[in-house]
Structure formats: C-alpha cells, structure tokens
Structure 1
Amino acid sequence: MAMTSFSASAVPSLNHTLVGIPSPLTAAAGGPRPAPGTVNALFFDAVERYERADALLYKVNGVWEPTSHASILTRVRHIALGLARLGIVAQDRVGLLSENRPEWLLADYACLCSSVTDVPIYPTLPAEQIPYLLNDSGARALFVSTPEQARKVASVRAQAPGVQWIIGFAAGKDDGCDYTLAELEALGAADDSRERATLFKEQALAVPPDQLVTLIYTSGTTGNPKGVMLTQDNLCSNVLATKATMPVSTADTALSFLPLSHIFERTGDYFLFANGVRIAYAESIDTVPVNMSEVKPSLMMSVPRLYEKIYARVLENAVSTGGIKKQIFFWAKRVGERWADEKLTGREPGGLLGFQYRLADTLVFSKLRERTGGNIRYFISGGAPLSPEIAKFFYSAGLIILEGYGLTETSPVISANNLRDYRLGTVGKPIAGVEVRIAKDGEILTRGPHVMRGYYNNAQATRECLTDDGWFHTGDIGVLEDGFLRITDRKKDIIVTAGGKNIAPQPIENMLKTNKYVSQAVMLGDKRKFPVVLIVPDWDQLEKWAARNQIVWTSRAELMNMPTIQAKVEKEVKEQLKGLASYEMPKKVKLIEHDFSIERGELTPTLKVKRRVIDQTYKAQIDELYAGAD
C-alpha cells in the first residue's frame, strides 16, 4: 500500500489515538462523485484543448528539449499500432521498466488507448525480483529504458518465458532488446493513415470506464507483492475529483521526479496533463535541486524526504555561518512561527508582528524560495510522514505543502488539503465522491469510485481488505476532526510492549528526524519490555561535532562506537522527545552506520520503513540492547 501520509502532531502522549481504544464510528464524505469516465477521454481532450508545443520537457545533452501535444498523440498512436503488429491485443499485459522520461508517458497512453493492461516496475528493483512480477501478471512484452535496465532484464529473461518482446527506449539489440522504440514506432507508422487515426481515437474513446488499466504491484512489507487492479474510472475519478480542489493552469510548470511506477506520481501526472500543465522530467533524484533552479517549477509532488533534506540544509547553513547571520535566521524562524500560528487560525498578522515578518521574509524566507526556483505556488506531499514542524516552517517561508493521503489500492487519493481548506497536521478532507469512516478500533475505511477492483490472482487477500459493500480497509489508524482526517500510524506498525502499552512509532520517528544529528530513525519494541530506536546519524553533522570536540577517528564505524558519540546521540534523542509519556520514550539507542536502503529491502520504493525486515536484519544489535534488561 502506498502514498500513505502520516502527519500526527507532536503531543505529550500518543496512546489515546491507538488501536484497541474504543471509539464511535465516524464518517465523512467529499461530496458527489464525478460521473464515470476514462483516462483516454482526458488524454484526447487535453491534446485537442491545449495544443502546446512544450507539453513535456526533458533534458538531452544539457538542453531542455520540448515535446508537443501533437507529437505525443502521433507517437502514442504509432506505439499502439506497433504493439498490435507484434500481436499484442486488448487485455494483454505489457511491463514498463523505466525511470521518468517522456517515453514512459508515451508507452503508458499507448497501452491505455489499446485496452492493454500495463504493469509498471520500479527501476530500482534488483534483477531477481523482476521475473515474479512478469510471470504473475502474464506480461507478453516489456518496455525498458536504458542499456543498464535492459541488461538487468536480460540476466533473468529465461526465468520469465512468457515475455516475447523487449523494447528499449534508449537500449538496443546489443543490450538484449528485440526492438528499439524507434523500430516499434516505425512498424506502427507503416500501418498509419488518416482513416486509421480516426479509428484509433474512436476505439480508445469507446473503452468503458470499468476497463482494467493497470496492475501495480505493491512493494509490501512481507510476502510477495500483490497486483492492484485499477480501472479507467478508478484513475479518472481521482483526477477529476482532485481537479476540483487543486488550482492549476497552463501557466504552471511541474517538475516530475517521483517514480512514475508509483501511483502517486502517475495519477499526479495524469492530473497535470489533463489540465495543460507543462511537465518537466527531472534527470534523477540527485539532480532535483539543480533542475528546480533551471525549470523554476510552480508545482511539485514529493515524499517528505525532500522537504526534510531542504530543512536540514537550511538549518545547517544557518548554524555554520555563525555570528549575526545565525542570529538573524533563528530570529526570523521564531517570527515565522508566530506569524504562521496567526494565519492558521484565520487571523491576519498586523502591527509589530506584520512588520517583523516582512523583514524576516526579506532577509531569510525570500532566499529559501529562490533556492526552490523562486516560482513555487505549492508543494504536494504524500507517501510517508511529514513532520508538522517542517510543514509549519515551509508555510512560514511562503512555501505551502499540501498533504494528501491515499494508497495504491485507492488510485491513490482519499483526502487532501487544498489552498482553500487547509489544516496543518492533517491530510485534509475526503475528495469528491470519496467516503471515509473510522472503525471502532480506529482503522480508516474508505469507499467510492477510487477503490480498486481487487488484487490480481489473489482472491483471499482481496477478501481480507475489501468488504462486500465496498469498504476498503486501509490498515491505517486515524481520526476525523471537523471533517479533516488525521493519521496517527499504521495498524500493523503499532508497538505493543510486553506491559501492554500501545505506542505509535511513526510520529515519534518524525520528531526525531527533525534533529540535525539524525538522518533516519526506526523505533522497535513490539512484545518487548520497552521501546528502543535505531538511528542512522547525519554523518556530516556528527563528524563536525566530533571535530569541534577534538575527537580523533579513522572510520565511521569507530566513531559511532565511541562512548562520547553514543552519549551525544542519546542526549539529542531525549531532548528531541521531551513531553512523551515515559513508556513511549526509547530506553536505548543503537547507531547504524549506513542508511536504510531500498536495495537491501529495508525500505519500500516510496521510502517507507519495512519494520519487520529491519527487525530481522539487525536482530543481533537489537538483542544486545535488551540483554540483561529487568
């Protein structure tokens, strides 16, 4: 399940929101649902309505190259006709293994318009995990992006005998591909004509709303991935409902960098395309800061990790400069917090506070906006927890972050904040057509056109989460407050100590990640006597502190095992978590040298922690923390 966003505020004790605490059923609905529709109709409408020359931007040899709506339509048709020449027919499955780039969009729309079900695969997946997805879905063909991705697939191709053709965007036969995309398009172009173009559009628009569009395999935290079956109307309804609350126009530019293989970015890009927004594909995750300065986006979707990194870097720059600049920054931060408190309660700050804020904006906040390209109207956040402290800081700097919530199984958006209806620390109100209900055990249930058809080839898993009357069990714990949804944790992540105390780990981990010495934090302790926390330090910060204190080390492993360093991090953890109930406070801290990673299976592709994997991977270190405990 993906795009889940947790934004519980830091409070003295968190147990009152947890599973097992009886509460009455509460419900909210986001208004009437849009009429059933298709993504295909949105596609043709956008192409004909906007006709812009720079619908897409992609950097080639250091230059941002545009792709027009007209070119997109022609290439989508040629790819679709090329697939038909290979024998791909309606309801066949075709894999899609690629980083974000225009060809991803072209191949996707070609499949949708041909009633072919595509199967997106995360480009970060190791080779050995790919055959399961291809075999379970029954994929007959596979698009790949680069020579590296093609060679990865070639190494395991024998394990997926059903795949008859591999088509490379920027890879060829030497890399294990059967066709290049150019060759496939040439096959389709040979069959094209004015009459064929008319027929192609008619057939695409005749696809019914309940047509299966895609199988998206959830990363999961245990067991094999499950293929989420989403229909044309699942995705279309989400786009239309979001359109009613998120203001965009053809003047906007969005920087796309989250994986299109994830439902958050994919539905987001459908939304952007349907509204004529220019979409610029970032070169990579690492180049996002540079690409922001080049493209100057007005909109961006991201997981909280980006905002955490920006926040940490801003704090570090302020501290490292020292002197008067440091004092000005922290003065401005305090002013911004007071200003935000006034704005968020509906009051307009004036008088001395208004004057101070204008000065703080000139001296500090305007420079932060420049670092994001100077043109951001708002960010959209999903996929993982966002700290309310970080959200308030961005808000005070004139960079509003609209948190939303949803899952792969819900296409994905269930609820979202918007510029007209915004409450910090929540994930907003349900969007149009979406019902939300809080069960007696605190679990969030949802029903509406956004809910998946079920899990492919897995009726048992479908029955476990989807009721006969259409209510989907999200697995998340939350509350409704004046119609706003607040998420407190994952139901399966709740830590129940040996003493029977319930602890929500994610808000606590969120609080820790705002500390400048902490890069990543994972709290554990289920069925144990007390909670503990694994900390991956922000090594830049910790090494600078060690150098200032004249500590000598030869490796990070040596540094983190020094009693002085251990005591420093433990002190930071305790100070950061002041106000927690005593049973919620981690009693011991273990430092981990390397970041938790997707490649080692410790994080999902959307950077959510696989708590059980980490518990198993670091079992020896965790057991040491409990050794001798009374």
Structure 2
Amino acid sequence: MREFTVPPVAAAPQVGGLADAVFDLAEQEPDRVTLGRKGPDGQWRDVTAAGFRDEVLALAKGLIAQGVRFGDRVAIMARTRYEWTLFDFALWTLGAQSVPVYPTSSADQVLWMLHDAEVTACVVEHEDHAMTIGSVIDRLPRLQRLWQLDAGEGAVAELMAAGADIDEDVVQRHRRAVTPESVATVIYTSGTTGRPKGCVITHANFMFETEMLVGRWESVFHSRPGDEASTLLFLPLAHVFGRMVEVAAVRTGVKLGHQPVLAATELLPDLRAFRPTFVLAVPYVFEKVFNAARRKAEAEGRRGPFDKAVEVAVRYAEAMEHKAFGIGPGPSAGLRMQHQFFEKTVYVKVREALGGRVRHAMSGGSGMDRRLGLFFEGAGVTIFEGYGLTESSAAATANPPERTKYGTVGQPVPGTTVHIAEDGEVWLHGAHVFSGYLNNPQATDAVLNDGWLATGDLGMLDEDGYLTITGRKKEILVTSGGKSVSPAGLEERVRAHPLVAQCIVVGNDRPYVAALVTLDQEAVEHWLAMQNRPPLPPAELVHDATLETEIRRAVVAANTRVSQAESIRTFRILAHPFSEEHGLLTPSLKLKRKAIEQAYAAEVEALYR
C-alpha cells in the first residue's frame, strides 16, 4: 500500500485560540480539578478549573504590565513543572508566542535560538539558567526582560503583583484577537544533523492535533469507565510530544501533574503518589520499568518464574492480537489459566510501578521493541505506539484502541494522510502539519510541497494501513561493497539486551557493518552482584570476557533479523555512555552520529583493523 487516509473526527477550528479552553472550562465547571501541583513539602494539591483560570489571568496581566504584547516571542527555559504550563497559557491568552528551550542547552545553542526567534523576554528556572542567558545577553539586543522562577518569591508572584492594576478587559481584548492562524509557539528541532531549525506551530495546528487525538483515544484516558482521567507529565515540555500532552490535557480537563526528573528514584514515587490513569512516555521509560522488575525478581531468586511470566504475557498478547485481526482464535484455555496465575504474582506488581491505575499508555519519540509492547499488553497495560515530528505538531500516526499492532506505529491519526514516496520516504498531510521554519524559506521548501510534509523517515504501509518506520534517509549506511543498511533496526535490537544502554552502528564506506556499544551501569552492577563479583571500574569492565560474551549474544540476536551483508561483524564496548553534556546526544536523547564517530574515531578505526 502506498497511501492511507483516516477521515477527521471533527472539523478544523474556525475561531479562537488555545487559551479559550481555560476560560470556557472555568465558566462551565469551575470546581472541576484540572491540575495537580506538588508543593515544597512533597504533597500533591488539587487546582480547580477556576483556580487555574485566575492564575492564568493574573499572570497575563503581569506580562502586559512588563511590556509583553500580541505577537511577542517569550522563551521558557525550565524543566517540566507547573509554572511552564501556567506561562504557556498566559502567553497564549495574550497572543504572544512561547519559545521552549531545553534546560540543558549550551550558551551557544541558547544564543542561536533566542537570536533567531528575536525573543524579547525569557523565563528561566534557576540561577544556572540565568547565568547561561547572561553569558550571551550582550549579543541579544532584543531581549528586554529576564524572569527567574526560583529567585526570591519567584517570577510568578513578581509578575502577578506587577499586573494587579491592569484591567481584566485588556487581557480579554488580547485573547479575542487570537485566531487559529495565529502563531502559538516556535519549537526548535533537536539538531541531529546541524543547527536547530525553528518550527512555526499555530494555534490551529495544536487544536486540530489534540482534538483528533482526544476524539479517537479519549476512552483510553481512563483506568475504568467513569473514573477521573489523569496523567503525570514527565516528558520535557521543550519537546513537541510533551507540549502536545500539556495542551490536550488542559483543553479536555484531564487532571495534569508535572514531574521534572526522569530518573526512576524521582519518577516512580511520584507515579505512586499521583496515580495517573494513563501515561505518555518514550520507550526508554517502559524499558526501565521492565528491567527494574526483572532485576528485582532476580535479586529475590525469582528470575525463572519472572521469565516464565514474561513468556506467558507475550504469548497471551500475541494471541489476542491475532484474534483482533481475525487470524486466530485467541488464547487457549491453558494459556488463560497461566496468565491468570501470573496476573496475581507478577503483572499487578508491574502496574504498581506505574502507580497502580494505569491501563493504557502512549509511546513515541523512538521505536519500541515489539516484544516489550506485547509484554506490557499481556501484563495489563496497552501501549499505543505512535509516530510524529515537531513539524507535524507531534503524533501523525498511532495504533487505534481496538486493534493495536505491535511493532508498527499504527494508522494515521484522524484527518491525516500517510503517503510512501517512490524512494520509501514517508510523506504526511493534514491540518496539524506546521507552516514552515522560522526565517528559513530554503529549508521550508525542502520539506513542504503543496501541503505535504516530507519527513526524511523511511517506512512502509501494510495492507491494513499500519505504518512501520524502517530508518532515516540521511542515516542509511552504504558499505564499500555497495550494500545499503538502515542502522535503526539493528541498534534497537542490540539495545533490547538489559546490559546495553546505547548502540550505534557504523560502516559507511567500510567493508562491513560494526557497532559501538555502551553499558547500563545499574544493570551491570546488578549483573556482577548476581555472579558474586565485585564492581569493576569502567576500564576493566570493557575488557571483561564474560561481559563481552553477553553483549555478543545481543549482537547475534540482532543479526538474525537481517542478511549477512547487513549484519554486525564486530563491536566494541565503550567505558562511558554517550551524553548530552559531551555533545553526543540531543536533548531528546537521539544519537548525534557524526559527533559520536568523530569523538570515537580511534575506536571506529580499530573495528576495521
């Protein structure tokens, strides 16, 4: 199949902007709890629709008092927290445009984005961020205001006090001037292949995107019919996926909480305390939950039963998948009995790690291993994998609620057409596709053609209209023997091994394919402890024969999916993981391939001696 369309479930918005939902919901259901806010004491407190509206209004008045006007661009440099959402909707109330900046961005990256976007004001989280801005402020002549969330009483209180005398009607006149075509935000790409580009996203883009997603998937937001829908947002709000979640939750009244730290020690306790009914995450989070459960079982001497529970979950989910697509009868009676046994001993504990109430989740940002998705399905958490880009305002495809096909990124979201070009590139069409790159018509023309977005990703559509992403055009390796190799699938399969943190496949203009592999330090420490071996320093660990054998198993397993010419012939274990701090990962954790190959040029050369 070359093209597949899913019709929209609602008409494209004709009037208004994103902030209208805040005021409309407060008018209709003032006491409805729409957000959860974690206080300094660690306790979660409810925020009602009316309460949030009042804060948005007060902050918008303060922004006006400080000189922010319709069409101005204001940067937000912070982790995922309540105040980010508050600033977003206050800015959108005024018709101003937010420019998200990753909190880990370097001074050079900050300079480029704030200069390119002609930002007039900036919100930062703490002093380190303020110092980053300060180091380049002499080259940002348009930047007039800098507010710090964690300084003194905080930027929010400061601005609300400044706007106390502003008449509410001034704010409302700004809000009524916002149209769907007004620009809502400029989100910069992660810059895997060069300088970040600013994607111009309108109010209409986000409104259409969220209405299509909610219209199709609203039923899965709940743990069970009739309960209060809630989600804990721990994705970075500087990324389009996180922003889409924020917008969808506020526009639909789903209770939204914020968690700024992805580390398990911080995230898991908040999942248990907040108890969301569904979550949206990247595959990394689900991998961490699974690996932590497996390590715990092994430490308690229950590795055998756990592995059996995994196998049963996968078989059960696969049988249910086959039944949904009419190619099988469903789980046998014996398999159902085994599944019921492990439900009480294993699966309930996996769900407890996600807070206890989660029955559905959405995954995006990178590919998820089919077997991992099947395991969670069998354990009682259906993960709907999807696909999208900043340029498509987040999701362009996702697995539908009633027929999930694991290993694919699903069908087009309503109102979207997916087309596979002659060279295998995925093209997208729909009202959520962005209007272009800021100040960069040449780059815009390269990806937009009569409303069609050329994604740069390679994929294929099956007979049911489900999309599978097979790689990126720019990442295709061509060996010196002329064999084209897509590295993504190989890397994903090597990474499925619990000891592997990252994998990068190399081989461009080389005689064969090879790989660099980094280790999951926590998993390796557990693995050594299970063998009654002491911890090893990284320099010794990379030469450990037993560890090398384990990693070789991962490579061999990955090679079974490809031809001999595409297989990884050799690999090298690295002492340290690729990090954003060293310029080897983007803020969204994507590999910067050229930077990695340059940084490890000696190790790559050694693979071909």
Q: Give the shorter-chain TM-score range.
A: over 0.9
- Residue 313 in structure 1 maps to residue 284 in structure 2: no
- Which residue is equivalent to 1:182? 157
**Percent of pairs with identical residues:** 33
- The 1:416–1:205 alpha-carbon spacing in structure 2 relative to 1, beyond 3 Å, is farther
What code does the residue aligned with 1:96 have? Answer: I
C-alpha separation in 1, matches of 2:495 and 2:246 = 29
- The 1:54–1:145 alpha-carbon spacing in structure 2 relative to 1, beyond 3 Å, is farther
Listed as ranges, the matches of 1:588-599 within 5 Å are 588-599=570-581
Residues 419 and 427, structure 2, Cα contact 8 Å, conserved in 1? yes
For normalisation by structure 2, the TM-score amounts to 0.92
The answer for unaligned runs of 5 or more in structure 2 is 324-328
C-alpha separation in 2, matches of 1:391 and 1:443 = 25
Residues 82 and 257, structure 2, Cα contact 8 Å, conserved in 1? no
CA displacement, residues 271-294 of structure 1 (integer Å, 9 cap, x when unaligned): 111221111111522211111111
What code does the residue aligned with 1:477 have? Answer: L
Farther off after superposition, 546-555 or 290-299: 546-555
- Residue 236 in structure 1 maps to residue 217 in structure 2: no
- Which residue is equivalent to 1:127? 107
- Which residue is equivalent to 1:269? 246
Residues 70 and 174, structure 2, Cα contact 8 Å, conserved in 1? no
For normalisation by structure 1, the TM-score amounts to 0.89
C-alpha separation in 2, matches of 1:65 and 1:157 = 37
What code does the residue aligned with 1:213 have? Answer: A
Farther off after superposition, 69-78 or 300-309: 69-78
What code does the residue aligned with 1:68 have? Answer: T
- Which residue is equivalent to 1:584? 566
Cα deviation, residue 588, structure 1: 1.2
- The 1:35–1:53 alpha-carbon spacing in structure 2 relative to 1, beyond 3 Å, is closer
C-alpha separation in 1, matches of 2:532 and 2:182 = 66
- Which residue is equivalent to 1:436? 418
Cα deviation, residue 207, structure 1: 1.5
Residues 405 and 415, structure 1, Cα contact 8 Å, conserved in 2? yes
What code does the residue aligned with 2:313 have? Answer: G
- Which residue is equivalent to 2:313? 336
Aligned alpha-carbon RMSD (Å): 2.2
Cα deviation, residue 71, structure 1: 2.3
Residues 150 and 171, structure 1, Cα contact 8 Å, conserved in 2? no
**Which of 142, 146, 166 is the equivalent residue of 1:162?**
142
Cα deviation, residue 159, structure 1: 3.0
C-alpha separation in 2, matches of 1:159 and 1:244 = 45
Residues 36 and 257, structure 2, Cα contact 8 Å, conserved in 1? yes
| SS of aligned partner of 1:345 | helix
- Which residue is equivalent to 2:5? 28
Cα deviation, residue 253, structure 1: 1.5
| SS of aligned partner of 1:83 | helix
C-alpha separation in 1, matches of 2:81 and 2:533 = 46
- Residue 90 in structure 1 maps to residue 70 in structure 2: yes
Residues 80 and 258, structure 2, Cα contact 8 Å, conserved in 1? yes
Residues 314 and 371, structure 2, Cα contact 8 Å, conserved in 1? no
C-alpha separation in 1, matches of 2:101 and 2:440 = 19
- The answer to which structure, 1 or 2, has the higher relative contact order (CA under 8 A, 6+ apart) is 1
Aligned residues between the structures: 592
- Residue 59 in structure 1 maps to residue 59 in structure 2: no
Cα deviation, residue 114, structure 1: 1.0
C-alpha separation in 2, matches of 1:135 and 1:168 = 20
Residues 512 and 577, structure 1, Cα contact 8 Å, conserved in 2? no
Cα deviation, residue 44, structure 1: 2.7
C-alpha separation in 1, matches of 2:281 and 2:403 = 20
- Which residue is equivalent to 2:303? 326
| SS of aligned partner of 2:578 | coil
Residues 384 and 607, structure 1, Cα contact 8 Å, conserved in 2? no
Cα deviation, residue 594, structure 1: 1.5
What code does the residue aligned with 1:581 have? Answer: S
Listed as ranges, the matches of 1:432-581 within 5 Å are 432-467=414-449, 469-481=450-462, 482-543=464-525, 545=527, 555-563=537-545, 565-581=547-563
Residues 254 and 300, structure 1, Cα contact 8 Å, conserved in 2? yes
Residues 99 and 123, structure 1, Cα contact 8 Å, conserved in 2? yes
Cα deviation, residue 128, structure 1: 3.3
C-alpha separation in 1, matches of 2:536 and 2:376 = 38
| SS of aligned partner of 2:565 | coil
Cα deviation, residue 127, structure 1: 2.9
**Which of 57, 61, 66 is the equivalent residue of 1:77?**
57
Residues 417 and 423, structure 1, Cα contact 8 Å, conserved in 2? yes
- The 1:413–1:559 alpha-carbon spacing in structure 2 relative to 1, beyond 3 Å, is closer
What code does the residue aligned with 2:251 have? Answer: A
CA displacement, residues 29-76 of structure 1 (integer Å, 9 cap, x when unaligned): 444662224323333333333424642222222221332222221222
What code does the residue aligned with 1:228 have? Answer: C
- Residue 245 in structure 1 maps to residue 226 in structure 2: no
Residues 215 and 230, structure 1, Cα contact 8 Å, conserved in 2? yes
**Which of 31, 40, 44 is the equivalent residue of 2:19?**
40
C-alpha separation in 2, matches of 1:293 and 1:264 = 23
- Which residue is equivalent to 2:326? none
What code does the residue aligned with 2:365 have? Answer: G
